[in-house]
């Protein structure tokens, strides 16, 4: 099982972090949210695939003028 971390850094420096433990980026799992999640507007509840989280948070980063980062549990930058 791998740990994946999606981080959206907002222009004001606040961060929204989504952590997931999954066997692959396609597996739907519970997400652990932290940081300025109120800035997402609508909460993303329930189980999601890591690939979906990356797509969603990367899009929100573009909308909000922030930066998106995706890493595995080792802290290595990861691509889908």
According to DSSP, residue 38 is labeled G
In tens, the pLDDT along 13-71 reads 999 999 999 998 899 999 999 999 888 866 677 799 999 999 999 999 999 999 999 99
Q: How far apart are CA 78 and CA 49, in angstroms?
A: 15
Strand pairing partners for 3? 21
What local confidence, expressed as pLDDT, does residue 75 receive?
Answer: 58
Domain residue spans in the chain? Answer: 2-72
* The model's pTM: 0.85
In the block, residue with structure tokens 């890493």? 71
Q: What is the pLDDT of residue 72?
A: 85
Q: What is the pLDDT of residue 46?
A: 79
Check if the beta carbon of residue 6 is closer than 8 Å to that of residue 18: yes
What confidence score (pLDDT) does residue 12 get? Answer: 97
Identify the residue whose tokens are 């791998």: 2
| Look-up of token digits 């999601």 | 48
């Amino acid at each position: 099982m791998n740990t994946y971390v999606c981080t959206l850094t907002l222009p004001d420096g606040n961060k929204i972090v989504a952590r997931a433990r999954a066997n692959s980026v396609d597996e739907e799992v519970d997400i652990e949210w932290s940081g300025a999640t109120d800035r997402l507007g609508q909460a993303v509840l329930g189980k999601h695939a890591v690939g979906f989280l990356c797509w969603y948070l990367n899009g929100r980063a573009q909308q909000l003028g922030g930066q998106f980062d995706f890493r595995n549990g080792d802290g290595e930058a990861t691509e889908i």
